[in-house]
A and B are shown apart, each in its own frame.
Chain A
Amino acid sequence: MSPKTLYDKIWDAHVAHEADDGTCLLYIDRHLVHEVTSPQAFEGLRMTGRKVRAPEKTIAVPDHNVPTTLDRSKGIENEESRIQVEALDKNAKEFGVHYYPVSDVRQGIVHIVGPEQGWTLPGMTVVCGDSHTATHGAFGALAHGIGTSEVEHVLATQTLIQKKSKNMKVEITGKLMPGVTAKDITLAVIGETGTAGGTGYVIEYCGEAIRDLSMEGRMTVCNMAIEGGARAGLIAPDQTTYDYVKGRPHAPKGAQWEAALTWWKTLYTDEDAVFDKVITLKGEDIQPVVTWGTSPEDVLPITGVVPHPESFKGGKVEAARRALDYMGLTAGQKLTDIQIDTVFIGSCTNGRIEDLRAAAAILKGKKIKDGMRAMIVPGSGLVRAQAEEEGLADIFKEAGFEWRLAGCSMCLAMNPDQLSEGERCAATSNRNFEGRQGYKGRTHLVSPAMAAAAAITGHLTDIREMI
């Protein structure tokens, strides 16, 4: 048998039909659903009299529109947001899919809830009408975002029409330096490839620095594979993965666990398998990074300066000029001189318990800068509960952070958590696009520790000076 990559193996295990031209029906093991990209899909089913083919493999949770303030049991004020969440309530019930409503302590960001509940397992195919579905690749699951028409297609048929992508390997060798995190790895990779560098590929992340990451860190890395343009990011499962999965509510148990484990242990890239593209970074070369512009590829080590638009090529010159104007920055300015108004810690990139621990480690016994607006939004109700149990919540509150309920919140600002015009935010989320966190809001993407550091000093800060 010819050697296969991890992607090849998962793909081959899920092809339900292949046409002569290579167009495949890929069987989907888990379909995650949230309120923003699903109403039109359910409506489509209703209009055509179709059913959800596998409701037991379909999991729904509202996250984008939900309020994260402590009084959210009062309901959603914005009428359209409320209608959207109510539509999901209704659709989940009518079509009989698994559901975590706003009132459930397990509610949270769909990409945090899936793994937390053991819905995401190695070797699966996982889709969701959301580009950050790539997150689940951390388990060695083939996971990617789809559009609403495809959501409807998966609901109706439990398959997706797909052609196979190419294989790309991103290897991070050696060890990370102190203060460097999974977020810095994933941003550094995008800085290297550009936001279109992964287009047409499924990335497998490997190498010692990846192996050394916890599951939380691996999810952070895979989460942003989409920001590099890739269809999905993957990390081969290993003991770290099995330890995380074991005992979760929907993980296999007993004899099934043993059977699953036997298969999972075959999920790795064969030694002689060929990748279409390979990128290698040295772990020790990666520095704590921040973004300066309005694309995740606009990334630089925190020790750098805002670049000159003329230093780029082609269409990027104009884009960089526009970005500096939008961000209110001047070429040549030191990144550590950029003053911050707001700090947002949360999102499916960095809203897990380990991220909160990293922030708490910096914030312990400290106060945020006067006038700073700072909020921590845990990725799920269970992350929130755990952080309270570990005493992290007290550290945040004493430092001056708002301690919120779970949801997407200011990652995309569909709920009231928004930046105002010109407000500048250090955010642990994944997109610094124009208007992403609020109309004319300015976003700098950073790791949780760097976000915490900026909250204390009031400007972008090299975390290595604080540890």
Chain B
Amino acid sequence: MDKFEKLSGIAAPMPLVNIDTDMIIPKVFLKSIARTGFGKNLFDEMRYNRDGTEVPEFVLNQPAYRDAQILVAGDNFGCGSSREHAPWAIADFGIKAVISTSFADIFYNNCFKNGILPIVLPQEAVDVLMKDAEKGANARMDIDLEAQTVTTSDGEVFAFEVDSFKKHCLLQGLDDIGLTMEKAAAIDTFEAAASQSRPWV
């Protein structure tokens, strides 16, 4: 997995609440058996007309935001389906961090498995960052995972919380399965005991 340490990039504003994973990547793209190539279909139904031409008003189609690496969004980002195709599409587009007041649980976890940092901040902070993002390509936001801060283009700093284990894995680009396999003995012990106490499982 890609490491995430520091990021300085353009942030795209998406002030909608409840952006669900069907919006992030519509189901027609879930038929792939690959993990890559979803970036061009990120936000497909909002981003393109039926004939495949771009919707010019859509934020990621605007010249200022084509290379956005950060999304600032409304409450409850990533709700709905568990599809990991959503973070795959986000990462494939080049977005490495999403900022909102809240994220849906499964989406939030999925981000960390794909080198994306989801940042939860209070409404007031998200409002300020949304305004900053609206400035377009002239404004770059800075994110420092080690220090757990987001800095606006004006230098205003917001600190955020992140689970220490998830932070560690993201900073190091660690593979979860490999880490868990190091604890195989604990799993073996648990399994043996459970097969005695709950043999019907």
Contact = CB atoms under 8 A, between A and B. Distances in A.
Question: Do A and B belong to a common assembly?
Answer: yes
Interface of A: 13, 16-17, 19, 21, 23, 25, 27, 29, 36-37, 39-40, 43, 48, 50, 57, 64-65, 78, 80-81, 83-84, 87, 121, 123-124, 129-131, 144-150, 152-153, 156-159, 161, 163, 194-196, 199-200, 229-231, 252, 256-257, 259-260, 263, 295, 297, 314-316, 318-319, 322, 412-414, 431, 433-436, 439
B16 A159 contact: no
A156 B177 contact: yes
B180 A159 contact: yes
Contact of B18 (A39, A87, A319, A439): A319
Given A21-B164, A315-B74, A414 B30 contact: yes
28 contacts: A16-B191, A17-B183, A17-B186, A27-B191, A36-B83, A39-B33, A40-B34, A43-B35, A48-B177, A64-B30, A83-B33, A84-B33, A121-B200, A124-B201, A130-B81, A146-B109, A147-B83, A147-B109, A195-B18, A195-B79, A196-B104, A230-B105, A316-B17, A318-B17, A319-B16, A431-B80, A433-B80, A436-B22
A439 B31 contact: no
B187 A314 contact: no
B31 A65 contact: yes
B110 interface: yes
B109 A150 contact: yes
Interface string B30-45: 1111110000000001
Interface in B146-201: 163-165, 176-177, 180-181, 183-184, 186-187, 189-191, 194, 198-201
Interface in B35-75: 35, 45, 50, 74-75
A295 B177 CA distance: 35
Contacts of B113: 147, 149-150
A48 B178 CA distance: 10
Most buried by A among B15, B30, B35, B87: B30
B161 to A, nearest CB: 12
Contacts of A195: 18, 76, 79
Contacts of B190: 16-17, 27
Contact of B177 (A43, A50, A124, A252): A50
B27 A156 contact: no
Q: Which 9 A-B pairs have the closest CB atoms?
A: A252-B200, A80-B31, A149-B113, A16-B190, A39-B33, A147-B110, A147-B84, A196-B76, A315-B17
Contact of A29 (B20, B35, B76, B201): B201
A157 B187 contact: yes
B106 interface: yes
Instruction: Place the interface of chain B in its size category.
Output: 35 or more
B31 A199 contact: no
A315 B33 contact: no
Given A152-B177, A319-B17, A435 B22 contact: yes
B136 interface: no
Interface in B126-145: none
Given A36-B31, A146-B109, 6 more contacts: A27-B187, A147-B106, A157-B187, A159-B187, A414-B31, A434-B22
Contacts of A43: 33, 35
Nearest to B180: A157
A199 B105 contact: yes
A92 to B, nearest CB: 14
A440 to B, nearest CB: 8
B106 to A, nearest CB: 5
B26 interface: yes
Contacts of A252: 200
A149 B28 CA distance: 20
Contact of A40 (B35, B81, B87): B35
B180 A315 contact: no
